[in-house]
Amino acid sequence: MVVGTEMSSPYVSQMALGDTVVTLIAYMRNWRWQYRSNSVSAEDVREATPEADADGKVRLDFVIAHISTGGHSVVVDPGGVTEDYRVAQPEADFTPGLEAGLSSVGLTLAGVTHVLVTHPHGDHFRGVSQSEHGAALTFPNAKHVVSRLDWEDETPESAMLRAAMAQAAGSGQIEVVEPDLELLPGLTLMHTPGETSGHFCVRVASQGRAFYWLGDLVHHRLELRHLDWVLPWGDSTLAAASRRRVMGEAADTNAIVVWAHAPFPGWGILSRDGEGFGWSTVGVGKVRDPAFD
């Protein structure tokens, strides 16, 4: 049985697990997206996504996580809305965003102690600064944590990450870490290559309970059953191994699991199902509405 308390609004959802409080903040909702892979046929994808619309598109939400644990205030994957997002998806719902979401639960940007970026894709890190050149840090007092493998990679995405974090790097607020690390007591970065070489998931354990933030280890629930399905830039062999290891551990311990693009709020638990995993959502408890229509 899952033990915890949860509150939720149209874009902010919070759950207490032991001494840890996890807050999910959606900054975009109802993005219409078509799953594409170089190794999977369109027919197979269509069969795996019966909820897709007439154009074969499914819903994605874009979510940021905040973890309060051991006196630390930790933001994970601070994405941000840019004008190209608004142009590409005018029908999507753009929420009041991270700062408003944090404020609604009594948290501030200045109080954030750590910012974790699971991998260098813009929808996961654009919110670290107020410009693409890394000026005006969003979290002025935070240590910004990135994987060495991704930070030093020669991809355009890694170059964009370094640019966005230029001010943080200049002020000594970057911590470049090796794969697999207990960053804080009870909070572990788990190296999960596949989406990128340095992608990591976040596991938090408190009083016998655990929460896993999967980032982009999966993008859509079809990848829970098809462990080797990846997007065109992914490595199917690495992704399958990472998913099998981390999701297996989460399933076996009845942990709460969320990924960055699950339909908000996205709280759920995994179960083993043949070679893949089943998914069960955790119901919403007390509802609150911090002024979002």
Q: Where are the domains of the chain?
A: 5-284
Top-confidence residue, 83 or 254: 254
Query: 134-180: per-residue pLDDT in tens?
Result: 468 999 999 999 999 999 999 999 999 999 998 899 999 999 999 89
Query: Which pLDDT score, from 0 to 100, does residue 283 have?
Result: 64
For tokens 């943080």, the residue is 168
Both tokens of 255, joined, read 């942990």
What is the C-alpha to C-alpha distance for residues 91 and 94, in angstroms, rounded to an integer?
9
DSSP string, 201-221: EEEEEETTEEEEE-TTS-SST
Query: 93-142: per-residue pLDDT in tens?
Result: 999 999 999 999 999 999 999 999 999 999 999 999 876 554 689 999 99
Element (H, E) at 49: none
Closest CA to 272 of 202, 224, 237: 224
Give the architecture (CATH level 2) of 5-284: 4-Layer Sandwich (3.60)
What's this model's pTM, rounded to 2 decimal places? 0.92
* Torsion-angle region of 266 (φ positive above 0: left; ψ -120 to 50: alpha; else: beta): left
What is the C-alpha to C-alpha distance for residues 290 and 133, in angstroms, rounded to an integer?
32
What is the C-alpha to C-alpha distance for residues 87 and 248, in angstroms, rounded to an integer?
39
CB 130 within 8 A of CB 99: no
For tokens 């207990």, the residue is 182
